[in-house]
Amino acid sequence: MCGIVGYIGKEDAKEILLQGLEKLEYRGYDSAGLALCNEKGITVIKEKGRIADLRGAVPLDIQATIGIGHTRWATHGVPNKENAHPHQSESGRFTLVHNGVIENYHLLQQTYLQQVQLKSETDTEVIVQLIEKFVKDGMPTEEAFRHTLRLVHGSYAIAMLDADEPETIFIAKNKSPLLLGVGKGFNVVASDAMAMRQVTDQFVELHDQEIVFVRKNEMMITTLDGTIIQRDPFTAEIDMSDIEKGTYPHYMMKEMDEQPGIIRKISQQYEDENGELTIDTAVLKAIMNADRLYIIAAGTSYHAGLIGKQYIEKMAGIPVEVHISSEFGYNLPLLSEKPLFLFITQSGETADSRQVLVKVKAMGYPTLTLTNVSGSTLSREADYTLLLHAGPEIAVASTKAYTAQLAVLAIIAYVTGKAQGKVQHFNLKKELAITANAIQTLVDAKETFEEIAHEFLATARNAFFLGRNLDFYVSLEGALKLKEISYIQAEGFAGGELKHGTIALIEEGTPIFALATQQAVALNIRGNVKEVVARGAHACIIAMEGVEEAEDRFILPHVHELLTPLISVIPLQLISYYAALQRGCDVDKPRNLAKSVTVE
Ligand code: G6P
């Protein structure tokens, strides 16, 4: 979590840094700060709240050509001005921003900093105070920087200024993402390329345990022990219009609207020269070599994984297990003889998923990442990558990445099944085209979902999402959407399971959203709805054409039964959006959350 930026060059740094931080707000937005360095020294400005609050606090007349900035998602210490970054050493000589978690910060403080009065509750401050201590002990800054990083255990992306050496930004990276950006007469550093795309499209990757000395016209990358590393820049293929909101009121609405186009684009991206769906042959081989796939993911990506399992088992006949990444790494199940690990991660940066990748790689198992961000950590570190092609997703609540994940998982399953002669009489490309049109119909029906949100959720304190079979997995995602942006407590439930205890929570007016798209269980889910309606629940049934009944509140266009999750989730996304809006919530930046969770 947390976003970092740095600039060293000729222009006014503050505007470039503030714009960069605005792009990084998805990584955390509870407090923010800047350190600006000019001939008068280093000025630190910090504010609790959003980048807009920080912007308001930055004096307009301050000019500086060097600076670092930070947007925070609190881990150690509450979000307030004192705990906001940058942090300064006791004398004020060193100023530092950090993304990550220093696991042994308490021990380091006890061992080295008993005499130092810390100003914040953060793990970060220990790093900057340690560097000053070692400099006071006689080490040059560079050596003190290295020495400190050798003592530190944990994850970090760091940018530091030394008031006595103002022509350098000191950079370090371990486990947390950080990129260098190269310009003419300036250089920048940022947690991702989007943050600095307005000044350059040339970026240099950093690897774990690397240190960089960034100056106006050069940057020197070294390992922790000082070996110099040469690495060429790559061009970031980011279209600025992809990261702007345009005329939309929220990114979430823009991203929901992009879904039909993304499904069509995915179909084209995974097409061979004959127009047939295909995936990279090395990936296909790795999947076919495996006796079992282990899907590892968090949040919305985990929900996509649950549906991916159904696709792969049904179309390709390969057994699949789906695991929550934060649990898997610390509680390994018995593994099959030839497993393949499939990481599903929109950002490609989720620390919980990455720790599993590191572990299973060390065990010698093959790994595949399905991600939206090419060049992201999990993409670089896995043996294979498949991309979602969904374009940058900025709203914290994931929408288009989820449907893109489902589409690519369906393609993986289909191509593997075909290669094994297991898929017949089914043309996924055609079905995806029908699905894209159906999604378009749904995103065009926004007013209906606004009305449903008002009717069912205006005064709701809690809500249930019910489904069976594939609909059950979509109901988990529907509940997550509603929780994360409207703060209404919501639970996704298997229709038949509710009566085994949880039905005790149903009372007069409890809103229930039930999905009915699956022929085989259509009558069963309707029976489950009757059970809760008999106890006072207010039920909104969303059914698919072909299995609809008079009692339904909304009828989804017909799509292939396997692809129903791509369409049944759309009403749930839109209902959550409008419920959040009607409650005055910040739809794109819900409280307590961050989009890219780079701490375990
Ligand atoms: C965070 C986000 C969720 C996301 C999850 C996994 O919790 O708020 O929206 O689903 O991380 O992220 P990933 O980038 O790995 O898909």
10 Å Cβ neighbour count for 590? 20
Rg (CA), the chain: 25
Is the model's pLDDT at 268 over the cut of 80?
yes
Q: Residue 476: which region, alpha, beta or left (left: phi > 0; alpha: psi -120 to 50)? A: alpha
Across the beta sheet with 384-387, the strand order is 320-324, 292-297, 339-345, 367-371, 384-387
- Give the pLDDT score at 462: 97
Average pLDDT over residues 30-59: 95
Q: Whose CA is nearest to atom 3 of ligand 1?
A: 299
Is the model's pLDDT at 3 over the cut of 90?
yes
Is the model's pLDDT at 598 over the cut of 80?
no
Triad 127, 132, 133: Cα angle to 5°: 95
Which protein residues are within 6 Å of ligand 1, measured from CB? 298-301, 345-347, 350, 353, 396, 398, 593, 595, 597
- Give the pLDDT score at 355: 94
CB 454 within 8 A of CB 582: yes
pLDDT tens readout for residues 383-409: 999 999 999 999 999 999 999 999 999
Q: At what angle do helices 470-486 and 299-311 cross, to 10 degrees?
A: 170
- Give the pLDDT score at 551: 94
Nearest alpha carbon to residue 538 among 517, 568, 508:
508
Test site for ligand 1: of 347, 353, 405, 409, most ligand atoms within 8 A of the Cβ: 347
Secondary structure tally for the chain: helices H, strands E: 18, 25
Is the model's pLDDT at 241 over the cut of 80?
no
Q: Whose CA is nearest to atom 8 of ligand 1?
A: 595
Rounded to the nearest angstrom, the distance between the alpha carbon of 348 and the centre of ligand 1 is 9
CA gap 43, 49 in Å, rounded: 19
pTM of the model: 0.88
Nearest alpha carbon to residue 596 among 433, 450, 396:
396
DSSP 188: E
Could you give the 3-state DSSP secondary structure of residue 233? coil
Q: Which atom of ligand 1 is nearest to the CA of 353?
A: 15
CB 335 within 8 A of CB 437: no
The pLDDT-based confidence of 163 (bands split at 50, 70, 90) is very high
Rounded to the nearest angstrom, the distance between the alpha carbon of 349 and the centre of ligand 1 is 9
CB 85 within 8 A of CB 72: yes
Q: Which atom of ligand 1 is nearest to the CA of 401?
A: 16
Rounded to the nearest angstrom, the distance between the alpha carbon of 14 and the centre of ligand 1 is 30
Test site for ligand 1: of 350, 386, 586, 587, most ligand atoms within 8 A of the Cβ: 350
Test site for ligand 1: of 595, 599, 600, most ligand atoms within 8 A of the Cβ: 595
Neighbouring-strand partners of residue 514: 466, 541
- Give the pLDDT score at 415: 98
When mean pLDDT is compared across 19-23, 73-77, 119-123, 215-219, the lowest value belongs to 73-77
What is the chain's mean pLDDT, rounded?
95
Is the model's pLDDT at 593 over the cut of 90?
no
Retrieve residue 382's tokens: 């896995």
Is the model's pLDDT at 599 over the cut of 80?
no
The pLDDT-based confidence of 76 (bands split at 50, 70, 90) is confident
Rounded to the nearest angstrom, the distance between the alpha carbon of 427 and the centre of ligand 1 is 31
Is the model's pLDDT at 289 over the cut of 90?
yes
CA gap 341, 366 in Å, rounded: 6
Q: Which residues are catalytic?
A: 2, 595
Q: Whose CA is nearest to atom 15 of ligand 1?
A: 345
Average pLDDT over residues 305-327: 97
CB 303 within 8 A of CB 473: yes
- Give the pLDDT score at 520: 94
Average pLDDT over residues 8-34: 94
Rounded to the nearest angstrom, the distance between the alpha carbon of 593 and the centre of ligand 1 is 10
- Give the pLDDT score at 566: 98
Rounded to the nearest angstrom, the distance between the alpha carbon of 350 and the centre of ligand 1 is 7
Query: Looking at per-residue confidence, does 243 or 190 come out higher?
Result: 190
- How many CA atoms, within 13 angstroms, populate the side-chain half-sphere of residue 533? 13
Query: Looking at per-residue confidence, does 326 or 600 come out higher?
Result: 326
- Give the pLDDT score at 379: 95
